[in-house]
Amino acid sequence: MISAGIDVGAKNVKVLIQEDGKVLGKGSVLAGLDMGADIKEAFDAAFKDAGIARDKVEKLYATGAGRNEVKDADDSYTEVGADAAGVAYLYPEARTVIDVGAEEGRAIRVDERGKVVDFAINERCAAGAGAFTEAMARALEMPLEELGKISLTSTKAVPMNAQCAVFGESEVVSLIHQKTEKRDIARAVHDAMATRITSMARRVGVQPEVALIGGVAKNVGFVESLERDLELEVMIPDDPEFVSALGAALLAAGIAK
């Protein structure tokens, strides 16, 4: 069956189309003020990518904070449920899912059937989400990809007390004033964020294997810090930011339950 999943997130709208577990196409657009237009645009991009017509999709499930905006969805799942379904399909051996998106971090513990056993979500603070690294990259006047890369070259751990994104930024500024090397600051930023995420993940209990998904999984600096903190290697799929949409599509097709 061809099915589609749409993930209406705070920052991006993502659509994934699959057939019998094989991805046919994906589409992603930045979320603006007109949610309806964004949703349409993301669909158009995905259909174009898949090279199929819209009526081929038999079922559509929505997920993400804005899932109720998708009027023609057949059903909807929460981000937690969609994450778990997507990861269970990609990595049946995963027991812990860590999803770090632009504005929220989540940790989910799943059982051997991929069922959600427990979950934790970062509270009201950007210090444990992608927005934090973006703000810090701005403070360091470098692109986000660069922040991740130079972080890997750091050899020195500088403690940083990032309880809050606002204070985090002023800490970065004072580190710059103290002539701390940029690569060490970059690592400090990722270490601080990894500490937050690990703290949260420990609430559900970190059981291997651990899958890391969400856009921030593409930040190599963060991944290194997180693995150091967790003392294990995490599994990262090719398109970590599409796993929720994949989960929704699989749930729609009945491949995931």
Partner 1 sequence: MIDTFQERYENRHEYAKQWKDKTGGKVLGYFCTYVPEEICIAAGVLPVRILGSHEPQDVTEPHIFAMYCPFCRDCLAQGLEGKYDYLDGISIAQSCLHIRQAYTSWELHVPTDWSYYLPMPHHVQSPRAVPYLLAEYEKFKKALEDWTGNKITDDDLKRGIETVNKDRQLMKQVYELRKREDPPLSGLESMYMVVSSQLIDKGEHARIVEDSLKELEDRTLGRPVGQRLIILGSENDDHEFIKMVESCGSTFVIDDHCTGTRYFWDQVSLNGEDPLTAIAKRYVNRVPCPTKDWPVRTRVPHIVSLAKDWDASGAVILQQKFCDPHELDIPAIKSALEEEGLATLFLELDVTVPIGQFKTRVEAFLEILDEEDLF
Partner 2 sequence: MAKYKTAPLKSWERAKEIRADYYRNYAAAHEKGGLRWAGGAWTFDAIPAGLGDDVYPITSEPYGATIAFQKDFSDRCLQAAERAGYARDLCAYMRNYWGSILLNEYGWAEPGEERKPFPKPDFIWQDHICCSHAKWYQVVSDLEGGLPMFCVDVSVGPYEHTTEHGIDYIVGQMHDGIEWLEKTTGRKYDDEKLIQAVYNTCRSTSTWAEICALNQAIPAPLEEKTMYSLYVLGTLQKSSKDVADFYDELLAEVQDRVDNQIAAVENEQTRVMTDTQPPWAFLRVFRYLASRYGTVSVGSLYTFALIGNWIWDNGKFVPRPTPQSQGVEIKDRDQALRVLTEWELSKPEWQHFYHPKYKSDMMIQIAKDWKLDGVMLHYNRGCEGLSLGIAENRLAILESGFPVMVFEGNMGDEREFDEARTMARIDSFMESLGVPKLD
Sites of contact with partner 1 (CB under 8 A) = 123, 159-161, 163, 167, 170-171, 173-175, 177-178, 191-192, 195-196, 198-200, 202-203, 205, 229
The angle formed by the CA atoms of residues 120, 126 and 130, to the nearest 5 degrees, is 90
Please give, one letter per residue, the 3-state secondary structure of 40-81.
HHHHHHHHHHHCCCHHHCCEEEEECCCHHHCCCCCEECCHHH
78 in contact with partner 2 (CB under 8 A): yes
Based on the shown chain and the rule CB under 8 A, indicate whether residue 70 belongs to the binding site for partner 2. Answer: no
119 binds, among partner 2, partner 1, none (CB under 5 to 8 A by kind): partner 2
Is 80 a binding residue for partner 2 by CB under 8 A? The answer is yes
Helix, strand, coil shares, percent, the chain, to 5:
45, 20, 30
∠ at Cα 200 (84, 219), nearest 5°?
Answer: 75
Phi, psi of 12 (to 5 degrees): -135, 150
- Farthest-apart Cα atoms in the chain, separation: 60
Residue 121's binding partner out of partner 1, partner 2, none, with CB under 5 to 8 Å set by partner kind: partner 2
Which residue from 20, 58, 74, 118 is in contact with partner 2, where contact means CB under 8 A? 118
117 binds, among partner 1, partner 2, none (CB under 5 to 8 A by kind): partner 2
Question: Using the rule CB under 8 A, which residue among 30, 117, 166, 232 binds partner 2?
Answer: 117
Shorter beta-carbon distance to partner 1: residue 6 or 175: 175
